[in-house]
Amino acid sequence: MGAEAPDRGDGSCPTTPGLARAQLALGASPGPSIATDLSACGLVVALEANFCRVALESPGPGGVDQLLCVRRTRLGKTGQQICVGDRVQVEGVDWISRRGAVAAVAPRSSLLARPAVANCNRVVVVMALVQPDLDPIQLTRFLLTAEATGVQVDLVLTKADLLAPQVLLEWRQRLAAWGYEPWLVSAQTGVGIEPLRQHLAAPGIAVLCGPSGVGKSSLLNALVPDLALRVGAVSGRLQRGRHTTRHVELFAIGAGGLLADTPGFNRPDLPPDPGALVGLFPEVRGRLGAGGCRFTNCLHQGDPGCVVGSDWPRYPHYLQCLQQVLAQEAAAQSRPAEPGLKQRGGRSEPRLDPRLRQLSRKRQRQGDGPQGEDSAADLGAEEAEDRHLDPGALGSGAGGSLNPAPGP
């Protein structure tokens, strides 16, 4: 997590003290000499290839409220990267073509690494109650990943229209014992949507995450009716929804709320620190208290006298996740110093990630098949997205992640 974003409260641009917002509010009197004010402040709402879309804090001349800005991957000598959610100062604005260049980025209050979203203050885990059936272990993995970001975590369970009230009540009770009060909603019938919209309309940036096919696109469409996002049919072959989200974008909800959708991934990486794992389970967080466990370096595996104990419903899930985190840690420690290189005839060559190799074989195999709903190329892209096979993700486990990034 980075430094707190200062709230100057004086209407000045966050990146440039003294640059008054009022200076930008020329929208009130648009005239022919509109290209005179060349700077503006706003929020990055989308990244598009080498450009970013900036929603302005105050409309510019002619009521212009968004600018397409040159996005330099790194801002000059500072090494500053631009992310969705960043508050930025734009210079060299051409109000007629609605273009500009990002000159500075304000300090961030938080930063998620994947998806890269700055200043997020809420992570919303979205899972379906049915179709596909809610899997407690998968739900736990998503919740742990969300809790590891350190921001507020909300849980939304979709497709509530498909279950009887008694079953919904049982889920509520079960999840209350996990320390969560879920929002049970249906995009189909609209049940629960309005209270959730009001909740998410509070000022700030909320990031939606969850597996594909759970109804995230349908939920976003219900929450932000102007959106008309493509809703994927549940795929016949994979028995889950097809990915419809391919990049991060912020959508306005209410007066101050912004929602970011993330590409669906089905198996998020577990947070890497075994010692910190138990603290990500809200139902037992309190047991540790200020002093922690009475045993030093305790991993809370049911030893007599351990303050965490084993008398809680998710204890078996905790043990299972702990084993995985420990195995992950052991694997990382036994990895050679330069895992990306292999020796061949005395030379070092880049090693192809085995998952990439599998993917390309799969692509080859399916290349001859019929181009149905899951065409070969689509399936490859879908799986790559599931596994977050971007170069930065290689060698970091097969799942997606929602990792907090190190501070700027």
Q: How far apart are CA 297 and CA 278, in angstroms?
A: 12
CA nearest neighbour of 111 among 46, 205, 209, 48: 205
Q: Which is nearer to ligand GDP, 384 or 394 (CB)?
A: 384
Phi, psi of 147 (to 5 degrees): -60, -35
| Of the candidate residues 215, 268, 274, 404, the single one contacting ligand GDP (CB under 6 A) | 215
Contact status, residue 236 vs residue 356, Cβ threshold 8 Å:
no
Phi, psi of 400 (to 5 degrees): -85, 180
Residue 142 C-beta: closest distance to ligand GDP, Å = 13
CA nearest neighbour of 130 among 159, 108, 107: 159
**Exposed, middle or buried by CB within 10 Å (0-12, 13-18, 19+), for 188?**
middle
Q: Which is nearer to ligand GDP, 158 or 403 (CB)?
A: 158
Contact pattern from residue 300 through residue 329 relative to Zn ion, giving x for each residue in contact according to CB under 5 A and a dash for the rest: x-----x-x---------------------
Q: How far apart are CA 145 and CA 235, in angstroms?
A: 26
Residue 308 C-beta: closest distance to Zn ion, Å = 5
Q: Which is nearer to ligand GDP, 80 or 186 (CB)?
A: 186
CA nearest neighbour of 84 among 62, 111, 56, 50: 111
Helix axes 354-367, 376-387, angle to 10 degrees: 160
Residue nearest to ligand GDP (CB): 215
Residue 179 C-beta: closest distance to Zn ion, Å = 18
Stretch of 78-86, 105-113, 181-189, 359-367 contacting ligand GDP, by CB under 6 A: 181-189
| Of the candidate residues 65, 91, 161, 353, the single one contacting ligand GDP (CB under 6 A) | 161
Stretch of 15-23, 159-167, 287-295, 373-381 contacting ligand GDP, by CB under 6 A: 159-167
Q: How far apart are CA 79 and CA 204, in angstroms?
A: 26
Binding of ligand GDP by 132 (CB under 6 A): no
Residue 336: count of CB within 10 angstroms of its CB: 10
| Of the candidate residues 28, 49, 164, 233, the single one contacting ligand GDP (CB under 6 A) | 233
The answer to whether the bond into 115 is cis (omega within 30° of 0) is: yes
| Of the candidate residues 34, 168, 202, 231, the single one contacting ligand GDP (CB under 6 A) | 231
Element (H, E) at 252: strand 250-253
Q: How far apart are CA 397 and CA 391, in angstroms?
A: 13
The dihedral sign for the CA sequence 185, 191, 195, 198: positive
Contact status, residue 49 vs residue 16, Cβ threshold 8 Å:
no
Stretch of 12-20, 88-96, 157-165, 275-283 contacting ligand GDP, by CB under 6 A: 157-165
Binding of ligand GDP by 234 (CB under 6 A): yes
Binding of ligand GDP by 217 (CB under 6 A): yes
Stretch of 155-163, 252-260, 337-345, 368-376 contacting ligand GDP, by CB under 6 A: 155-163
Please give the single-letter amino acid code of residue 292: G
Contact status, residue 234 vs residue 131, Cβ threshold 8 Å:
yes
Q: Which is nearer to ligand GDP, 196 or 322 (CB)?
A: 196
Q: How far apart are CA 361 and CA 179, in angstroms?
A: 44
Number of chain positions touching Zn ion (CB under 5 A): 5
Residue 188 C-beta: closest distance to ligand GDP, Å = 4
Residue 47 C-beta: closest distance to ligand GDP, Å = 20
Binding of ligand GDP by 378 (CB under 6 A): no
Binding of Zn ion by 288 (CB under 5 A): no
Residue 160 C-beta: closest distance to ligand GDP, Å = 7
Interacting residues toward ligand GDP by CB under 6 A: 158-159, 161-162, 186-188, 212-218, 231-234, 241, 244, 264
Interacting residues toward Zn ion by CB under 5 A: 293, 298, 300, 306, 308
